[in-house]
A and B are shown apart, each in its own frame.
Chain A
């Protein structure tokens, strides 16, 4: 049987703090949630007890600095379950764009780069410590978070979902923007979770929820090229919020290579 009240901590590494709002933005439902969980650590919510022993540690943010790495290891030691939340924690976030560059941007941007202490790459939490569950999304949604907690409270193993965005989009009977507008929509390789927000407003998905199950990025990228995107544009479609996720990273490098050959 699961405990009657779960002890949880909400941690932040390198991130914009937006995913933690899935707790704060619940409104009155938060009061119901607090009957089921006890928040031991949540700096954004005013509770600071970094070393509290908890059942679940929700970790937002990427491993981007040496301190991030130390904290992630500390969190692991004090938590039964570690759950990474959001694009930064699952795949390194937007700041992982620096992983794709060979140039020393630090030198170019900062007058005194020696004062900046950061790792060469920004990476997801699971690349460094054992992570039990991942909630993808930029940002994650209240519904996603609560559904996850409910499953644990009921004593069932949370079911991962890698379903493709197209499925949700078609259930809502949105008209496909890829087919009608030749818009470079990432829906066929992106996991659902946002409610097909962009296609609902006639725009191409740009992948906030990360790669779906079995993403055939090769074929979709070929189609983008067929629709008239030049190779550097195809590469850039995959270099946004989840550029460090393996399938998107591979596609970025593939089209960068094609672009480099074209330039030669």
Chain B
């Protein structure tokens, strides 16, 4: 890929060019002590000089000594809520003189350009595309927004303590699904194109000549640095062994700690479970059906035909891990984990998915760890 140089003072051009092309820019900003994706109107809103310290059950922002706006890795959410909305109206019904009248909820989507997505986020996008679009019944709400999505990815120049994308094969480099991709250097950005739409935006920017060998070398070195990660998810073949270890004592050990609060599944960029709720007005004239994010950790999620299929927390943690890491491989051709580490840092009690998986794939029952 040919890359060109975009000086830091010209980053705001990217915003104005995207805006003129009809896109609402969505990107990272600091809100409530975290990096949060939101609608942005100018570059000053980006998290300049901020980085996260992410550990199991812990996330804090700190100042870096650099003048960078992508010195962080992840926030609590990536792209998921922009496509698979936490609360999605599906249909309304109304009592009329002719009887009950049903209407599909309107499909509202507008062009958005998301800046700052990482390799893990793009891998998650690919999996969500598979789930929501490639089955016999594509999801119209997801599809409408997906078709109006422009992506500016960023190659990671560092990894957080919770990152393990190298072991899942999804990072730290963004290699697919983007329109533009950036490497952030001290002096500015290296920009590459991944699509025709990307090319159209690219051509309107004040870019330097092709980048120098030194700059390319620096970008490569940053990726190499980001590849030095502390956690490694077992490989996919090993993860299949989880299905052979259904009675491993570690399931109970983790259940003693697990709150079954669902945080891991809701911050996971690939989890897609939902439930539906009905509401009506007090006159019983109008009703609405809404789809809500749900979690396999919720009791009612495993309630079928008068029976709770997964009555205990250990059953639910086992369901999550087995589905995500092993059964997805049959369902979607790969593990459902992209190595972003969100479930580790946003677990209120700091349960480490990778550490649990490493114990559970071994399959040799042992004394539960003392925690």
> Which A positions have Cβ atoms within 8 angstroms of B?
29, 32-33, 35-36, 146-147, 149-150, 153-154, 161-164, 166-167, 170-176, 178-182, 185, 187-189, 202, 213-214, 216, 218-220, 222-223
Of B76, B262, B349, the contact of A175 (CB 8 Å cutoff):
B76
A167 B293 Cβ-Cβ under 8 A: yes
Residues in A whose Cβ lies below 8 Å from that of B32: 174-175, 180, 202
What is the bound-complex CA distance between A179 and B280, given in angstroms? 36
Contact A179/B346 with A164-B262, A219-B258 known, Cβ cut-off 8 Å: yes
Q: Would you list the 5 A-B pairs with minimal beta carbon distance, nearest first?
A: A188-B261, A170-B266, A171-B86, A175-B32, A188-B259
A218 (CB) vs chain B CBs: closest residue:
B256
What is the bound-complex CA distance between A216 and B57, given in angstroms? 16
A180 B33 Cβ-Cβ under 8 A: yes
Minimum distance in angstroms from B95 CB to a CB of chain A:
12
How many of chain B's residues touch chain A, expressed as a range? 35 or more
B282 A36 Cβ-Cβ under 8 A: yes
B313 A216 Cβ-Cβ under 8 A: yes
* B260 part of interface (Cβ distance < 8 Å): yes
The interface centre, meaning the residue of B59, B86, B260, B266 with most chain A CB atoms within 10 A of its CB, is B260
What is the bound-complex CA distance between A36 and B282, given in angstroms? 8
Q: Which of B287-320 contact A (CB under 8 A)?
A: 292-295, 298-300, 313
Residues in B whose Cβ lies below 8 Å from that of A29: 282
Of B77, B86, B259, B284, the contact of A150 (CB 8 Å cutoff):
B284
Contact A223/B348 with A167-B262, A170-B86 known, Cβ cut-off 8 Å: yes
Give B259-284 as 1s and 0s: 1 = Cβ < 8 Å from A's Cβ atoms. 11111001100000000000111111
A213 B299 Cβ-Cβ under 8 A: yes
B282 A33 Cβ-Cβ under 8 A: yes
A223 B263 Cβ-Cβ under 8 A: no
Residues in A whose Cβ lies below 8 Å from that of B300: 161, 163
B348 A178 Cβ-Cβ under 8 A: yes
15 pairs from A and B in contact (CB 8 Å cutoff): A36-B283, A153-B284, A167-B261, A167-B262, A170-B263, A173-B77, A179-B57, A179-B348, A180-B60, A181-B33, A188-B263, A188-B348, A214-B313, A216-B313, A223-B349
Residues in B whose Cβ lies below 8 Å from that of A202: 32
What is the bound-complex CA distance between A255 and B266, given in angstroms? 31
What is the bound-complex CA distance between A59 and B57, given in angstroms? 41
B58 (CB) vs chain A CBs: closest residue:
A179
Residues in B whose Cβ lies below 8 Å from that of A178: 57, 348
B348 A172 Cβ-Cβ under 8 A: no
B349 A219 Cβ-Cβ under 8 A: yes
Minimum distance in angstroms from B38 CB to a CB of chain A:
9
Minimum distance in angstroms from A74 CB to a CB of chain B:
29
A173 B284 Cβ-Cβ under 8 A: no
B292 A154 Cβ-Cβ under 8 A: no
Minimum distance in angstroms from A194 CB to a CB of chain B:
16
What is the bound-complex CA distance between A181 and B59, given in angstroms? 8
Residues in B whose Cβ lies below 8 Å from that of A33: 282
Minimum distance in angstroms from B218 CB to a CB of chain A:
32
B34 (CB) vs chain A CBs: closest residue:
A175
Minimum distance in angstroms from A196 CB to a CB of chain B:
12
What is the bound-complex CA distance between A90 and B36, given in angstroms? 38
A173 B259 Cβ-Cβ under 8 A: no
Of B257, B279, B295, B346, the contact of A176 (CB 8 Å cutoff):
B346
B266 A167 Cβ-Cβ under 8 A: yes
* B138 part of interface (Cβ distance < 8 Å): no
What is the bound-complex CA distance between A182 and B263, given in angstroms? 16
Residues in B whose Cβ lies below 8 Å from that of A149: 282
Minimum distance in angstroms from A20 CB to a CB of chain B:
17
Residues in B whose Cβ lies below 8 Å from that of A170: 86, 262-263, 266-267, 293
A185 (CB) vs chain B CBs: closest residue:
B348
Residues in A whose Cβ lies below 8 Å from that of B58: 179, 182
A154 B262 Cβ-Cβ under 8 A: no
Minimum distance in angstroms from B49 CB to a CB of chain A:
18
What is the bound-complex CA distance between A70 and B295, given in angstroms? 44
B282 A180 Cβ-Cβ under 8 A: no
